[in-house]
Chain A
Amino acid sequence: MSVDTKTVARIAHLARLRLPEDKLEPMAGELNRVLSWVEQLSEVNTDNVPPLTSVVHARLRQRDDVVTDGDRRDDVLANAPDAQNGFFAVPKVIE
């Protein structure tokens, strides 16, 4: 499996990353180098091996369904690049 510049542009868009045109080619080269290196995993027989989902053998805890936090609007907005009238502000989404 080899990644071309079109694929890099597509993944970059999926990841919401602006990559300039002239970076697509070198990035494709780097990704291919890493991906062909991890290709070695195909040598390992993993028939009937379950994927590891957690390294600690513990059940996820449940807690009482009660409010433990809140009333922190100003804290939450304090770091926003643009906050207006108690909301996060973003470029217009709907026409």
Chain B
Amino acid sequence: MTSLTDLTIAEALAALDKGEFTARELTGAYIAEVEAGRSLNAFTTETPEQALAMADAADAARKAGEAGPLAGIPLAIKDLFCTKGVLTTASSHILDGFTPPYESTVTSNLWRDGAVMLGTVSLDEFAMGSSNETSYYGPVENPWRAGDGKSRVPGGSSGGSATAVAARLALGATGTDTGGSIRQPASFCGLAGIKPTYGRCSRWGIIAFASSLDQAGPLARTVEDAAILLGSMAGFDPRDSTSIDRPVPDYRKALTGDIRGLKIGIPAEYRMEGTPAEIIELWDRGIQWMKDAGAQIVDISLPHTQYALATYYVVAPAEASSNLARYDGVRYGLREPGNNLIEMYENTRGAGFGHEVQRRILIGTYVLSAGYYDAYYLKAQKVRTLIAQDFEQAFGRVDAILTPTAPSAAFVPGEKSDDPISMYLNDVFTVPASLAGIPGMSVPAGLSADGLPLGLQILGRPFEEETVLRVGQMVEKAARFDARPGAWWKEAA
């Protein structure tokens, strides 16, 4: 018999419905995996008692014929979602001890549908990073290792989420994506991860990084599982002023396995100089799979692609510097004493924020400061318009766009931490869609020469997550990605 933790969400739901095992048994199996996987450092706070109580409630609901669509499914929650009564840190020292008295809308939706909370998982501090190395609680290990046996980063910022799901410590996880923070870790850990359209999932109760870009979404082991989770996470919320009031489709039903006649765009500008050959080869294989499935390949141009990263690294720090002004040692978290109020603010923020966060706050403050606003911030917002228009024009001709997710497989810790720009370049393929607010998904498509997962990215029109998921599942099918990391962390324990 396969172990309980090898099942997908779809399989586990079917087995729970048939009574093959209980939610308590499934949750118990995951709690044991979480404990055995502590050396991966994915979890910040484990909540096993709460998990078992939620599992019992799911079992009772199922008995009464009232099981929700996720009843009894154990999940990990990125530690950026406020969870009532459970420490929420954003992986930052400055939120020491912060225990929210309320629950984020997205997690409320998951619990409403019967999901089980295993605990909170680590991220790059305030979701700023692409490697999960900037967490105050230490780096997270990718469960995948290359032939050289060296550690790899899980990607970021949803690195704890990706490691937890890939290492079978959770059936699925929530993530957030501001410039690639769901898609890039999904690619690095061999998972399906979708960032929906801006406005699809409520941002209420998610600790803000860059409000015009932040969007929640799931990480899961299959496209179908991601579709199931997204269906519960998405929805209108009057408490988020940018939430969109439109019905949530049945995303699972969108997975028809039929993309015949669909037009798939291949953007010339994503064939960047310096991209490793194996990434280009993977992309070319993906294009062939689309043709084989009956889709029509269309060459397109997204002419402002090369300016997306620079635009992002003006807009995101500007918004972050404003959002992070609230951490002042008065209302929650850390306080460092000072001789007066201003000194107390400065000492608290100097001690509470890590280096990467400080640098982004300073950049953001600078580009918004008098005399520089027009040259940097306003200019970037104008280029952002052009980037969004590139996509609008392309989507007049195609139904979806296929690209690589990241320019490399997971890298070795420390490899990029000395040079912010080389770290930022990791997001070169994911950032444009974030700036335009359109949905994007990463799906595992193959292994690198040294045995690490690589993902392909599917982009779609606003609110056409169904098309993105349908195409994503065709990539998944064609790739027949069934590799999984060896459980070396258990042998070490």
Contacts and interface: CB of A to CB of B under 8 A. Distances in A.
Interface in B66-116: 97-102
Contact of A44 (B241, B304, B342): B304
A9 to B, nearest CB: 11
B216 to A, nearest CB: 15
Given A63-B238, A91-B340, A41 B383 contact: yes
A11 B385 contact: no
Contacts of B347: 18
A44 B339 CA distance: 48
A86 interface: no
Contacts of B138: none
Nearest to B338: A91
Contacts of A13: 346
A41 B314 contact: yes
Contacts of A19: 350, 358
A8 B384 CA distance: 27
A63 B372 CA distance: 36
Interface string A47-91: 001111111101011010000000010011011111000001011
A80 B386 contact: no
Nearest to A72: B101
Interface in B193-208: 197-199
A91 B333 contact: no
Interface in A13-34: 13-20, 27, 30-31, 33-34
A91 B332 CA distance: 15
B162 to A, nearest CB: 25
Contact of B310 (A14, A16, A38, A63): A38
Nearest to B436: A55
Contacts, number: 170
A42 B351 CA distance: 36
B481 interface: no
A95 to B, nearest CB: 10
Given A49-B386, A79-B332, A16 B345 contact: yes
B289 interface: no
Contacts of A27: 358-359, 362
A55 B362 contact: no
A8 to B, nearest CB: 7
A3 B366 contact: yes
B383 A44 contact: yes
B362 A11 contact: yes
Main secondary structure of the interface of B (DSSP, over half): helix
Which interface class (under 10, 10 to 19, 20 to 34, 35 or more) fits B? Answer: 35 or more
Contacts of B301: none
A93 B341 contact: yes
B437 interface: yes
Contact of B101 (A63, A78, A88): A78
Nearest to B370: A14
B5 interface: no
B363 interface: yes
B457 interface: no
Contact of A79 (B97, B199, B379, B381): B97
Contact of A41 (B197, B341, B350, B380): B380
Interface stretch (B124-132, B183-191, B323-331): B323-331
A75 to B, nearest CB: 4
B365 interface: yes
Question: Which residue of A14, A17, A88, A91 has the most chain B CB atoms within 10 A of its CB atom?
Answer: A17
B386 A46 contact: yes
Contacts of B337: 91
B244 interface: yes
A44 B379 CA distance: 9
Interface string B429-456: 0000001110000000000000000000
A42 B379 CA distance: 8
Given A51-B378, A51-B384, A81-B335, A91 B341 contact: yes
A2 to B, nearest CB: 12
Interface in B299-343: 304, 307, 310-311, 313-314, 321, 325, 328-335, 337-343
B353 A17 contact: yes
A82 B332 CA distance: 9
A35 to B, nearest CB: 7
B421 interface: yes
Contacts of A91: 337-341, 343-344
Given A11-B365, A34-B421, A17 B313 contact: no
B383 A17 contact: no
Given A27-B358, A41-B311, A80-B332, 12 more contacts: A17-B346, A41-B380, A44-B382, A46-B382, A46-B386, A49-B382, A55-B388, A56-B197, A56-B198, A75-B102, A76-B101, A90-B341
28 contacts: A7-B366, A11-B365, A15-B361, A18-B349, A27-B358, A34-B359, A34-B420, A35-B376, A37-B421, A38-B314, A38-B376, A41-B310, A41-B376, A41-B380, A44-B307, A44-B382, A46-B379, A46-B382, A49-B386, A50-B385, A56-B199, A56-B242, A79-B98, A80-B331, A81-B333, A82-B335, A91-B339, A91-B341
Interface of A: 1, 3, 7-8, 11-20, 27, 30-31, 33-35, 37-38, 40-44, 46, 49-56, 58, 60-61, 63, 72, 75-76, 78-82, 88, 90-93
Which 7 pairs between the two chains have the least Cβ-Cβ distance?
A: A55-B437, A18-B350, A51-B381, A81-B335, A79-B332, A46-B382, A18-B346
